[in-house]
Chain A
Amino acid sequence: MSTDAPHTGQLPDDAEQGTSLWADAWARLRKNRLALFGLGVIIFLCVVSLLTPWIAPYGYEQQNLALGATPPSWQHWFGTDIFGRDLLTRVMWGGRMSLMVGFVATGVALVIGVLWGTVAGYAGGRVDAVMMRLVDILYALPFMIFIILLMVVFGRNIILLFLAIGAVEWLTMARIVRGQVQSLRRQEFIEAAHSLGLSRWRIIRKHLIPNSLGPVIVYTTLTIPSVMLLEAFLSFLGLGVQPPESSWGLLINNGVETMEEYPWLLIFPGLALAITLFSLNFLGDGLRDALDPRSSKD
């Protein structure tokens, strides 16, 4: 990065790329240790999840009924469950599922929600009314009925899981973004952009979205863990993940039932989720600050 380059008459090399908000954001993020730590943990978890089929110590459905539930030991670092399955392996496989659901469903919600909200807020008037009434209608649809309908029509399917979760999560995102954009739209710099003759798409992309990012990022970091828990709930209902496959939510759910006898069955998946959540929050806060040029004085 060339942020430390002397700012004399000469232009910094990356100035011509026109991406300096992101470049600067990265430079600021690198100074935030907590956020970097969060980023590191998340990258680590993702890498482990990707490599799980090759590095997991046991098979995720490999049972050892004779062994039963044993506490952590050198053979089984996280212990085993009542079927004698290695918990570390199951947490790793569960992480694959949970992180995938968390990131993909949130990503889908983010893209749809931000675009929908920005367009509605920016267009205003009738377009806005129609778009937001649609959001209201979807909000009003009882979640359970929606899911049962999906199950009846399509049967159990992992893609449905993303669909169902994405379909609820983008609504709130759209509302948040719309509110932001509505207040931004009246600002003079948007009017200035109009008078410069910028296209609407460019105004949305360059002026509106970057300025509404703060709350979006915070909400995103809140959405990822809630999506992971939603997945556990859906799996519990029979949509989504079924044993012997695993996910963190499912493991925690099962762990709760045997909490008194075998606490490690709750503790380890719970820890995995908690660490992810913490890291996401650190990263989210860091990102929000990094993307706001006003937040740091350097």
Chain B
Amino acid sequence: MALLEVTNLKVHFHTRNGVVKAVDGVSFNVEAGQTLGIVGESGSGKSVCCYSLLGLVPQPPGRIEAGTALFDGEDLLRCSRRRLRQLRGNEIAVIFQDPMTCLNPYLTIGEQLIEPLLYHRKTPRKEARQQAVALLDEVGIRQPERRFDSYPHELSGGMRQRVMIAMALIAEPRLIICDEPTTALDVTIQAQILKLIKDLQHKRQVAVIFISHDLAVVSEVADHVLVMQNGRVVEQGEVAELFSNPSEAYTRKLIASIPDGAKSAAPERRELQPHPLVSVSHLRTWFRDHSIGLFSPAAAKAQRHIKALDDVSLRIERHEILGVVGESGSGKSTLGRAILGLAPVTDGRIIYDGRDITNLSARAMKPLRRRMQMIFQDPYASLNPRMTIFETLAEPLLVHGLANRRTVAAQVLALMDDVGLVRTCIRKYPHEFSGGQRQRIAIGRAIATRPEFIVADEPVSALDVTIQAQILDLILDLVARHDLTMMFISHDLGVVRYIADRVLVLHRGQVVEEGDTGKVWAAPQAEYTRELLQAIPRLAHVQP
């Protein structure tokens, strides 16, 4: 008998605008010592499905309409709240996506770690501490004795996720639900965490439900995979079978959407011109470290600056797409912003089209703003929620005098056509759109002034895979049609390989490698690049 047997689970949300069938008749089994991967795009119901088992779906508006979920013979959907509380943390544990928001910033990690022991098991404090320290050691935290008394903000993202895993394991549960546990982490850290989860699972023989939007990640950890769409199971099967031979169209579409392979038709048209569009030499951006005060040790004072960018030089030729790759904290976003004059420059020079634009005043910069634009990562934050699409797109046109009140409407409509938005949406507000549509709006705003240079900062990271593929193709199309030059910043190497002509690898504010995308992938020169490339999760079972 399986450890968890879910049959015909239905969870509906009763909202003012009608019933949303978040989970609509889902059945699956999880065996002890096995991993079930649940894959789906946002809104597919993959998280709701698991949270409803634990009574973590807010009711109302949520309601469990039908189904059974037998956990070791006990129906989770019909348990009392009290019993569910006992099960949570004790028998079933959850690892959440964002390790920062899931830890209480006011308690030491040790205190949070032993809480379930003190509460569920009534373990004496001293013993609990010993167990916790041993566990911290097991999840790969160095100096566990010392770290026990650290506060969450003193740990890096990867370390915090290790702590979260330790928290999940401390009560020795039989089932662990991982909800996108590595999505907020860098690739190299992600690889470590995935390995850790796999190792611990084999050692302890627990069952794992691994929820992710990333097929490659799931293919690496799961034994059995469930593909969900719109609250229904599209397809399920053994991981090797499912990925090598998907029977459903949706699964095939998901697999096809993964940016895979190099940029098609590498444009050989770019002949090296004597003057690149952008040239950056010895750029430094140092931020003052405010955590270092008057009384800090002298050693700390000697390096009182955070070196976001440290001696970065680069050239961007006309009509090329330069990919900038790096992990969080590598300075890649700062680099893009510094070029556009949105981040300070401590030292070095930025030449744009033959003109020195380093630390130019806002006034002097304004005529140039029309020619250089930016696309931001989060389409939810980069649009003013109180402006309609019309206002958002009309603003750059009016400010730069590219349209007058009579012609602006026609120009906005043309822009909307250009980025693939339906004309009838013109009076809507950002919150009425999906992530992909919002990113189209943001792209429309960036190309409104007909710029020649665009910095795109992780423009597809917040999007689902199928949407990501559409937006990438839109960007490629616009670059070709409008003769754009682009700096494409991303942590996702697959995406960069798909879109960039040349690539620049940043590590701790320094350029570690630069070259044509194809060459860097085929023969990476720097050690760090090799590490990065190895860490990319791949669809393990698909023949190339």
Q: Point out residues on A near B: beta carbons under 8 Å.
A: 7-9, 11-12, 15-16, 18, 20-21, 24, 187-189, 191-200, 202, 206-207, 210-211, 291-294, 297
Contacts and interface: CB of A to CB of B under 8 A. Distances in A.
B165 interface: no
Given A15-B390, A195-B342, A293-B431, A188 B399 contact: no
A237 to B, nearest CB: 43
Residue among A191, A200, A207, A292 with the highest chain B CB neighbour number at 10 A: A191
A22 to B, nearest CB: 10
Interface in B110-151: none
Contacts of A297: 16-17
Interface string B369-385: 11011101110011111
B388 A191 contact: no
Contacts of B372: 195
B424 A8 contact: yes
A15 B409 contact: yes
Interface of B: 16-17, 337, 340, 342, 362, 365-366, 369-370, 372-374, 376-378, 381-388, 390-391, 394-396, 398-400, 405-406, 408-409, 413, 423-424, 426-427, 429, 431, 442, 445, 449
Contacts of B431: 293-294
A229 to B, nearest CB: 33
Contacts of B377: 188
Nearest to A5: B427
Contacts of B394: 18
Contacts of A24: 388
Given A7-B427, A11-B426, A16-B409, A197 B366 contact: yes
Contact of B386 (A188, A196, A199, A293): A293
Contacts of B445: 192, 196
Contact of A189 (B337, B383, B423): B383
B429 A293 contact: yes
B411 to A, nearest CB: 12
Nearest to A200: B362
B424 A7 contact: yes
24 contacts: A9-B413, A11-B390, A15-B390, A15-B409, A15-B427, A21-B387, A21-B388, A187-B381, A188-B376, A188-B381, A188-B382, A189-B381, A189-B385, A191-B342, A192-B382, A192-B445, A193-B384, A195-B342, A195-B373, A195-B374, A206-B387, A206-B395, A292-B386, A294-B429
A292 B337 CA distance: 30
Contacts of A187: 381-382
A191 B383 CA distance: 10
A191 B338 CA distance: 12
Nearest to B457: A188
B43 to A, nearest CB: 17
Contacts of B449: 196
Contacts of B342: 191, 194-195
Nearest to A9: B423
A198 B429 CA distance: 21
Contacts of A8: 424
B376 A192 contact: yes
A278 B386 CA distance: 28
Contacts of A195: 340, 342, 369, 372-374
- Per CB-CB distance, the 4 closest pairs between chain A and chain B, nearest first, are A197-B369, A188-B382, A293-B429, A188-B381
Given A189-B383, A211-B384, A297-B16, A20 B391 contact: yes
Contacts of B16: 297
Contacts of A293: 385-386, 429, 431
A152 B405 CA distance: 55
B391 to A, nearest CB: 6
A197 B400 contact: yes
A197 B386 contact: no
Nearest to A213: B386
Contacts of A292: 385-386
A12 B389 CA distance: 13
Contacts of B17: 297
B458 to A, nearest CB: 11
B419 to A, nearest CB: 15
B388 A20 contact: yes
B338 to A, nearest CB: 12
A71 B485 CA distance: 84
Contacts of A210: 384, 386
Given A20-B427, A197-B366, A200-B362, A191 B376 contact: yes
A292 B384 CA distance: 11
A206 to B, nearest CB: 7
B424 A189 contact: no
Given A11-B413, A187-B382, A195-B373, 16 more contacts: A7-B426, A7-B427, A9-B423, A15-B426, A21-B386, A192-B376, A192-B445, A193-B395, A195-B369, A195-B372, A196-B373, A197-B400, A198-B395, A200-B362, A210-B386, A294-B385
Residue among A12, A21, A188, A197 with the highest chain B CB neighbour number at 10 A: A197
Contacts of A192: 374, 376, 382-383, 442, 445
Nearest to B408: A16
A297 B16 CA distance: 9
A196 B384 contact: no
A193 to B, nearest CB: 8
B272 to A, nearest CB: 29
Nearest to A291: B386
A18 B406 CA distance: 12
A133 B390 CA distance: 40
A235 B163 CA distance: 63
Given A15-B426, A191-B342, A294-B385, A196 B376 contact: no
A48 B166 CA distance: 70
B395 A196 contact: yes
Given A9-B423, A15-B409, A20-B427, A196 B396 contact: yes
Contacts of B378: 188
Contacts of A20: 388, 390-391, 427
Nearest to B394: A18
Contacts of B374: 191-192, 195
Given A18-B391, A21-B386, A192-B376, A197 B399 contact: yes
Contacts of A15: 390, 409, 426-427
Residue among B365, B372, B395, B400 with the highest chain A CB neighbour number at 10 A: B395
Nearest to A295: B431
